[in-house]
């Protein structure tokens, strides 16, 4: 009996502990229920509904309401966001403007035809020809770019000219440059193709008619210069071919013999200097 007494005491202790825990949980639950019941708001008198407001008259444009976008800063100059947007737009259309409204196309075509006349299809590479044509175009177009900067860009950035006026002022130097280097026959061709009346003067020629006419004139002049460049190299090819035929060396390609003579002739007459000088002198300013 004494050996079993500790077990009975331990079991009674466990039962008492369980009863205590149960009582504590019941007390906590009762407190929570009482607190929740006391937390309910006391019902009050209902609030009477308010009358609807009368509709307001629409605000005229430029009044106090509505959304307004100010493109200029506090000093009247265009904001930096607008200038950045215009710069990105110009960069996206710069290749088209460079090809259509400057001397780049004519210079690049002449340089490419010179390379073909020398029988060097990949020397100089296209990147070198494009870079040379680009910087020659900047050299030729420097007066036009200076006028655009003075007449349009600087006044617009200073806030003394609107964007529309700046665009019209910037197009005028380009217009004069293209008119001075466009043939009347090409202008007449584009005018007839568009079924437009004949312009009364240079100021009446529209840009959509002037730009393609200018490109046609540039390509025509480039092919004329290329034809003149091809003639001496063609003579060298004929002489070399005749010499090889007379010696019975028909299996030897004439290009292998004529190429050194072509390069020698081109270097002796300072071919690059003559071509670049002719290209620069072929442009007239309006």
Q: Classify residue 189 as exposed, middle or buried by CB count within 10 Å of its CB (0-12, 13-18, 19+).
A: middle
CA-derived radius of gyration, the chain: 44
For residue 149, the model assigns a pLDDT of: 85
For residues 128 and 70, what is the distance between their CA atoms, to the nearest angstrom? 45
Q: Which pair of tokens denotes residue 132?
A: 């040379």
For residues 272 and 33, what is the distance between their CA atoms, to the nearest angstrom? 101
With a cut of 50, which residues of the chain have pLDDT below it?
1-7, 9, 37-40, 63-67, 286
Residue appearing with tokens 């629409």: 58
For residues 16 and 233, what is the distance between their CA atoms, to the nearest angstrom? 120
For residues 273 and 277, what is the distance between their CA atoms, to the nearest angstrom? 6
Could you tell me which of 235, 219, 223, 218 has the C-alpha nearest to residue 114? 223
For residue 5, the model assigns a pLDDT of: 46
Residue appearing with tokens 């100010």: 70
Could you tell me which of 127, 121, 112 has the C-alpha nearest to residue 275? 112
């Amino acid at each position: 009996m004494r050996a079993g007494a500790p077990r009975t005491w331990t079991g009674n202790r466990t039962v008492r502990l369980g009863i205590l825990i149960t009582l504590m949980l019941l007390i906590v639950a009762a407190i929570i229920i009482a607190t929740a019941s006391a937390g309910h708001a006391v019902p009050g008198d209902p609030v009477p509904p308010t009358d609807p407001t009368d509709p307001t008259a629409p605000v005229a444009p430029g009044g106090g309401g509505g959304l307004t976008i100010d493109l200029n800063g506090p000093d009247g100059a265009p904001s930096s966001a607008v200038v950045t947007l215009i710069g990105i737009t110009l960069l996206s259309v710069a290749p088209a403007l460079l090809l259509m409204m400057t001397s780049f196309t004519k210079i690049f075509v002449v340089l490419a035809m010179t390379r073909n006349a020398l029988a060097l299809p990949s020397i100089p590479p296209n990147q070198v020809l494009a870079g040379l044509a680009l910087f020659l175009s900047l050299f030729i177009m420097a007066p036009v770019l200076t006028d655009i900067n003075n007449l349009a860009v600087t006044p617009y950035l200073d806030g003394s000219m609107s964007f529309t006026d700046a665009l019209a002022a910037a197009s005028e130097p380009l217009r004069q440059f293209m008119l001075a280097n466009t043939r009347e026959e090409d202008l007449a061709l584009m005018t007839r193709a568009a079924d437009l009346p004949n312009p009364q003067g240079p100021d009446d020629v529209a840009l959509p008619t002037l730009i393609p006419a200018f490109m046609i004139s540039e390509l025509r002049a480039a092919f004329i210069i290329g034809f003149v460049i091809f003639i001496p190299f063609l003579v060298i090819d004929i002489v070399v071919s005749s010499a090889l035929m007379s010696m019975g060396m028909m299996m030897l390609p004439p290009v292998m013999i004529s190429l050194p003579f072509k390069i020698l002739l081109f270097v002796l007459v300072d071919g690059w200097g003559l071509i670049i000088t002719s290209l620069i002198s072929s442009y007239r300013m309006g």
